[in-house]
Amino acid sequence: MEADPRFAEFVAERGDALLRYGYMLAGNPHDAADLVQEALLKLRGAWHRLHSKGNPESYVRTTMARLHIATWRLRRREQLAWDLPEREHHDPLPSGDERRIWQALAGLPRKQRAVLVLRYYEQLDDAEIAAVLGISRGTVRSQAARALGKLRNAVPTKPMTRGNVR
């Protein structure tokens, strides 16, 4: 099969944005890169059919969300057997409240994190989120409410005082 230069252009133009989206879904750069790579492989196979429709990025993002959900469903059933590494590795995080928000977001269950990413990063409504994740709209709302509650508890707000009201 002959390579289409438009596919390479698409990857060059939108690759970084897709990687950021993957990071928001997965919570770490390694899983994000895997999501992007797998989704782009699927896109490459369907490029001629999808490019003519005009929105291949939507296909890739939906594929990434579905791959992410499939991964956490699989991991929920897995029994890991290898030993833990002797020392941990953590990518540096921002400091202060921003750090607590990222840690709280990373600590959310995968479904709750996926709902928040699709709602606030992708700007999808409940019906669209339900379609992407294969769950009901009520489940979308309950997962979002639980996730936001956990984030609120993780990062308490500062009390309002006369000095910081504008």
* DSSP per-residue string spanning 50-81: HHTTT-HHHHHHHHHHHHHHHHHHHHHH----
What tokens appear for 73 in the block? 């469903």
CATH class of residue range 1-76: mainly alpha
Looking at the structure, give the CATH architecture of the domain made up of residues 95-158.
Orthogonal Bundle (1.10)
Per-residue pLDDT of 30-44, as tens digits, reads 999 999 999 999 998
- Mean pLDDT in residue range 49-57: 80
Question: What pLDDT was estimated at residue 166?
Answer: 45
More confident residue, 135 or 95: 135
Is 68 in contact with 35 (CB distance < 8 Å)? yes
For the entire predicted model, the pTM comes to: 0.53
Pairwise CA distance, residues 124 & 120, whole Å: 7
Evaluate if residue 75 carries a pLDDT over 80. no
- Mean pLDDT in residue range 123-127: 92
- Domain range summary for the chain, segments of one domain joined by +: 1-76, 95-158
| CA-to-CA dists, residue 88 to 68, 84, 91, angstroms | 24, 9, 10
